[in-house]
Amino acid sequence: MIVEGAILAGFIPAALALNLTPGADMMFCLGQGLRGGPRAALAADAGIALGGLVHVTLAGLGLGALVAGAPWAFEVIRWVGVAYLLWLAAMALRGGGRPGDLPQTRAATAFRDGFLVNLSNPKVILFVLAFVPQFVDASRPVLPQFLIFGAVLSLGGLVVNGAVGVLAGGAGQRLARSSALGRWLARVSAMVFAGLALRLALISR
């Protein structure tokens, strides 16, 4: 057995507690739900989950040491993420205020946005390097253990963040029938994305 049952039983509640803690991923799904509705929120949620699995795989392969040890790599990835989030904020403002409904966001676009935003946050891989190894048995193959723990984290995030996004999307679609409320929803979405950009810009290694 790659991961002992007792260790996995201890990891699951710890991972769930992390999933339930409001963070950048949850706020991003909230913003996507307000902007594009439940379908967009779920697509973004899936993109975030895939991005998390990529981070876990990189950490398991030891490539996370590059980000942890090379300040320039950390900074480049971080500022790319900041720029992308600000671009999303601008797009939310540009599309807001149409009478009748929220601007439709294609599922593929929302998936890509979630994936890229998660992937461009170097804090994720540093978190994985700090959290997951506490449960890894060094006498067993390391990468498969990382992948199992990463799958648990991603599955929990998929459920929790998806629920937040769907609830936000349902409320947003109802409120957006008014063009004035649609403009306010666009502004709220833009503020969420801009706030995430500020959060990423201010983090330290």
pLDDT, one tens digit per residue, over 118-129 is 988 877 877 787
Of 15-19, 48-52, 104-108, 187-191, where does the model show the most confidence?
A: 48-52
Q: Are 146 and 136 in contact (CB under 8 A)?
A: yes
DSSP state, residue 177 = T
HSE at residue 75, side-chain half, CA atoms within 13 A, is 3
pTM of the model: 0.74
Angle between helices 71-95 and 179-202 (to 10 degrees): 170
Residues 92, 17: Cα–Cα separation, whole Å: 31
Q: Are 151 and 53 in contact (CB under 8 A)?
A: yes
pLDDT of 101 over the 50 cut: no
pLDDT, one tens digit per residue, over 102-114 is 455 788 999 999 9
pLDDT for res 102:
47
Percentage of residues in the chain having pLDDT higher than 90: 23
pLDDT of 48 over the 70 cut: yes
pLDDT, the chain, mean: 81
pLDDT of 54 over the 80 cut: yes
Residue 100 region, left (φ>0) first, then alpha (ψ -120 to 50), else beta? left
Of 52, 64, 62, which Cα lies nearest the Cα of 149? 52
Query: Could you tell me the pLDDT band of residue 177, with boundaries at 50, 70 and 90?
Result: low
pLDDT for res 160:
93
User: What is the average per-residue pLDDT within 80-103?
Assistant: 69
